[in-house]
Amino acid sequence: MSRSGGDENPSELALLLVRAASGDAAAFEQIVVRHERRVLTLSWRLLGVMADAEDAAQEVFLRTFKYLHRFDPRKPFEPWLVRMTVNVCRDLGRKRRERGALLVEEGDAYERAGQRNPANNPDADLEAEQLRERLFQALRALPEKERAAFVLRDVEDMTTAEVAETLGTSEATVRSQISSARLKIRKLLGGRR
């Protein structure tokens, strides 16, 4: 994976995973600290709302703790975690839709506004923020599978093969989903045709 923490020692991580699987809370905390940013960011990109993303990240790590004994420590951990994150976000998004929950966009926008850098140009910040919000809205309008393919390929910068592996589908299907998602986003953002 393009973003799989290349700076970490795989054998050290494997040791942490084995220790965490046998109930070592300190080892599990280390795993959480190393991967929380990746999981929360991906969840946020997939769901578009920070409150939902926090719930998703919590669920991902709980599942990780529960099913860590199934993971083979000789294999790379991050693709497994990313796959689980995508599945959890899919489940959560489905539940939210079934319950007809309204997205709390105002609260989210407020939260993002709170982290603007005062040293930057406020107008440029606002413009970027508005653009980002439009992109999030366009992403939310996409079908679930196209959104996941688009986020993993274009935002997470994974290769088509990695996206296919993560989503458990073929590269041809991923290409088709990405192509469709890009054209729809362009249209939703006000493309000419």
Partner 1 sequence: MKCRAFEPLIALDVTGDLRQPERDRVAAHLETCANCQALAAELRDGQSMANLLRSHAVPSTALSAVRERILDEVAGLEPAPAWLLAMHRVIFAGLRRKTAIAGMGLIAIISGSLWYGQPPVAVLPTNAPAEQMARIEMPPPVDIPSAVPVLTPQSVARLQLPKPLVVAPPSEPQSNASPEDVASEASQIPMKFVTDDPDIIIYWLPNDKGD
Instruction: Mark 51-90 with x for binding to partner 1 (rule: CB under 8 A) and - for no binding.
Output: --xx--xx--xx--xx-xxx-x-x----------------
167 near 174, Cβ under 8 Å?
A: yes
Those residues whose C-beta lies under 8 Å from the C-beta of residue 132, and which sit 6 or more positions away, are 112
Please give the distance of CA 159 from its chain centroid, rounded to a whole number: 15
Among 45, 47, 81, 85, binds partner 1 (CB under 8 A): 45
Could you identify the residue written with the tokens 């489940």?
Answer: 91
Could you identify the residue written with the tokens 């073929």?
Answer: 170
The CB density around residue 9, as the number of other CB atoms within 10 Å, is: 10
- The total number of residues shown for the chain amounts to 193
Could you identify the residue written with the tokens 């729809």?
Answer: 184
Question: How many residues at the interface with partner 1, by CB under 8 A?
Answer: 57
Residue 169 token pair? 């589908």
Using the minimum distance from each CB to partner 1, give the nearer residue, 101 or 128: 128
Which residues in the 91-130 window bind partner 1 by CB under 8 A? 111-112, 114-115, 128
CB of 32 to partner 1, least distance (A): 6
CB of 100 to partner 1, least distance (A): 25
Q: At what angle do helices 171-188 and 122-141 cross, to 10 degrees?
A: 130
User: Given the rule CB under 8 A, which residues bind partner 1?
Assistant: 21-23, 25, 28-29, 32-33, 36-37, 40-41, 44-45, 50, 53-54, 57-58, 61-62, 65-66, 68-70, 72, 74, 111-112, 114-115, 128, 131-132, 135-136, 150, 153-157, 160, 175-176, 178-180, 182-183, 185-186, 189, 191-193
